[in-house]
A = this chain, B = another copy of it.
Amino acid sequence: MPVSLVKESDVDVLVIGAGPAGLMCANALTQAGVNVRIVDKKPVKVEWGQADGIQPRTIEVLQSYGLAERLLKDGAQMHMAAFYSPGPNGGIARTARVKNIGHPTARYPFGMTLRQGSIEDIFLNSMASKGVEVERSTVPTHIELSTDDALLQDPQSYAVKVVLNREDVPDGMADKEIVHAKYVVGADGAHSWVRRTLGINMDGEQTDYIWGVLDIVPDTDFPDIRNRCSIHSTNGSCMIIPREGDVVRLYIQLTDADVRNVNTGRVDMSRCTPEKLLQTAKKSFYPYTMGAIGEVEWWTIYIIGQRVASQFSVNDRIFIAGDACHTHSPKAGQGMNASMNDTHNLSWKLAHVLRGQADFSLLKTYEFERRKYAQDLIDFDKRFSALFSGKPRTEHNQDGVSHEDFLQAFRTFGGFTSGIGIHYAESAIVNYNYQGLASGVAIGQRMGPQIVIRVADARPFDVQDLLPADTRFKILIFAGDLTEPEQREKLNLIALEMGKPEGFLEKYTPKGAARDAVFDIMTIGRSKKEDLNFTDVPDILLSHWSKVYVDDIDFTGTKGGKAYSTYGIGSAGAFVVVRPDQYVGMIAPLDRVKDLDRYFAGFMGQKRRGQGLWLYKP
């Protein structure tokens, strides 16, 4: 063995794995100003990967990082879903065309596809603008959590040791580095080295469903080739997911005979070719023609496995995220979305703890929120896959899956598949009190879109764009009609309360920092835009002229004016506190600034060990 060069270094967060979960994490932390490194064992990034479906909620999340533009420009959009069942003449016939995304509050009411390489580029470019790059050909070989209790109790200590090997150094010499990290995020995929090394189990099982995937430029007379399409035929099932340009992805149901070795019973990739997959697909499409123009872009076969990791963190120091902690069928297009949303959930919490703004215990909410979601995902996937892989109901098979069954399931699961229905349970950061004050703002769910008008310049804004993923908590003061003296008086009292030295604003905003460094306060009134002046809002609530909005229709007469009614907020108004990840943390009446103080006291600042407030409701 040649001599190794060993260096040692410190880092706040080390991210292992530069797929969607790892990149979302590294970019979020980079933008938050956190000291972060991200490594990947692959020498180059994946260009045309398996994961590429993007949910409506994920588009919202990317938009909250200012990154949706390119996605929306380059990706394919799926607005319509079409369903085909066995028709009268032995071929398929269309049974329905319906909207693809049923969720009523989707800001981007469509599914998207964009190849993984392009999605990763969006993050890579964003990080590069701050000087952070992925360190490739870098393999972790050892990970070790300190056993020193004092160290483990201190959120600022370098409690994790990781050994990294650089594999692309010349002359076969391994360039070894010992990294001391405060936190490690293992986003290293379904075969996660981090997970295996830590001995975390995957709970769940393999299914019997086998599917082939084929990306082609189709040559076809099939009229729904550019829609998300589910085909149940007597010759097998097939699903179409349109992709960028003229490419479509076909999911093709396979039988054991197609892929299993007759002797061993094991799946044998060599028994399958893209030509065979296409032949199988052709049968499902009859009487429509189906062929491929040019080369097959990409293909694979897979057996659905449905598993969730038994834990998502070790001592809130080492986290796993993405495929490393959940695997499931790709057909509902959830994989990459679940992965990116894991680290979207984790990143702001890490940033707050590392800055010393929030208590260490905040990190517990990551596993609490995301593991429950992953379990729900697997439950959904089991039901969806069974339906999808089932035989269609026909004259001769009355026990089969009917078109109505499938359409019903498609609609029922809409909130889930869109990603919008994700609902975090009650904890230190999700307080279910006062839900009635804003019945259309679901506590624990993401804040929905609505157009409001900025008072200073009458410019319409989507409320979601006032809630960027910038690690700040957003305090929305739905102040009612500010042309009424009573509501003005309420606002003055709020200003008075929030200015007190013992209040959350003074207490958790670092001395000398900008007034809106931790809490971004915005007032949303309810009157005509012509009748309100932004200069009427008390100074402490007005860190900038842009902080005052009104729920009114815009000058085109087509947008806005529905925020209070959609959010279910009455004329008395309400506080809505939105977490940095755009999820609603709490709601309170306007005369209860104290409830905000109490909410933030639950996780802001640093508690002494054993003195942290409750995190999980019994």
Spell out A's residues near B (CB within 8 Å).
69, 73, 76-80, 97, 99-101, 109-110, 221-223, 225-227, 242, 246, 456-460, 529-530, 533-536, 545, 554-556
Contacts and interface: CB of A to CB of B under 8 A. Distances in A.
A226 B79 contact: no
11 contacts: A77-B459, A78-B457, A80-B457, A100-B555, A109-B555, A110-B459, A223-B534, A226-B457, A226-B534, A226-B545, A227-B457
B99 A555 contact: yes
Given A99-B555, A223-B535, 8 more contacts: A77-B457, A80-B529, A80-B530, A100-B555, A221-B535, A222-B535, A225-B456, A225-B545
Contacts of A554: 79
A460 B76 CA distance: 13
Contacts of A529: 80
Contacts of A457: 76-80, 226-227, 242
Nearest to A102: B555
A77 B461 CA distance: 12
A63 to B, nearest CB: 12
Contacts of A76: 457
Contacts of A80: 457-458, 529-530, 555
Q: Which of A76, A223, A242 has the most CB of B within 10 A?
A: A223
Contacts of A458: 79-80, 97, 99, 227
Contacts of A530: 80, 97
A536 B223 CA distance: 9
Q: Which of A78, A101, A242, A556 has the most CB of B within 10 A?
A: A556
A370 to B, nearest CB: 30
Contacts of A545: 225-226, 246
Contacts of A101: 555
A556 B79 CA distance: 10
Give the 7 A-B CB pairs with smallest separation, nearest first. A223-B533, A80-B458, A99-B555, A226-B457, A226-B456, A79-B458, A97-B530
A99 B453 CA distance: 13
Q: Which of A79, A456, A458, A545 has the most CB of B within 10 A?
A: A458
A221 B110 CA distance: 44
Nearest to A554: B79
Nearest to A536: B223
A107 to B, nearest CB: 10
Contacts of A73: 69
A564 to B, nearest CB: 19
A458 B77 CA distance: 9
A336 to B, nearest CB: 21
Nearest to A107: B556
Contacts of A222: 535
Nearest to A242: B457
